[in-house]
Amino acid sequence: MTLVGLFMTMTEIEVLILAGASPSSVAVTLEVLATANRLAVGRAGGPPFWAWTSGSGAEAWSAVLDVAAPAERPDLVIVPGLALTTAEAIEGRLRDPDMRAAASRLALARDAGIEVATSCSGAFLLGQAGLLAGRRATTSWWLAPLLARMHPDVELVMDELIVRDGGVTTAGAAMAQMDLMLSLVARLAGASLAARCSRYLLMDERRSQSRYMALSYLAAAD
């Protein structure tokens, strides 16, 4: 999908859509990227900004996307949140061949210095790829006990909606993909453009998921 926008330099973004990805998370990712570019071009024009899709679930979006050929080395890989809400679903899905291939892809991206971002249970894929080891991270609040058990070397920060540590950014539950995308636009293209996207898409800024948590659940979760 070719997008044009006003960025300091051309940014190559890969949207890694996997089978079973949250439809809303995928849609929000693409909508924010497209909106950021429309607003930037409408205001001043600028250099090209590219995005493309890949992964086992990308074919489902082929009817509505003009998929561009990927660059050899993207600047950023975005993994839309995965629609996995239980330990059984997550552990089973991580064993699938396409998820193992995606984990290898992300590990190579990390080794090449490429930034990676995800939300919700996408954090478990990053954990499997070794991207979260020794890092601060977050995920859907009700999955925090599971992530801590599977990856005890991760410093979970559950009161924050978005956590960036080095070249890895994680966000809370599926709708936190909106907040994640705005934060990426702000960092890549400036706070002003991110604020305009927020106004056009009626997206309010949120910084914490603590007010959504059921603390009694977290205290009892094994």
Nearest to 77 by CA among 162, 153, 18: 18
Give 28-74 pLDDT, tens digit per residue: 998 888 888 888 776 555 544 567 788 898 877 755 555 555 566 88
Nearest to 137 by CA among 175, 112, 95, 122: 122
Tell me whether residue 15 is exposed, middle or buried, using C-beta atoms within 10 angstroms of its C-beta: 0 to 12, 13 to 18, 19 or more: buried
Nearest to 101 by CA among 85, 84, 79, 81: 79
User: Where residue 3 falls among pLDDT bands split at 50, 70, 90?
Assistant: very low
Provide the residue count of the chain: 222
pLDDT at residue 126 is higher than 50: yes
Percent of the chain with pLDDT over 70: 77
Which pTM was predicted?
A: 0.84
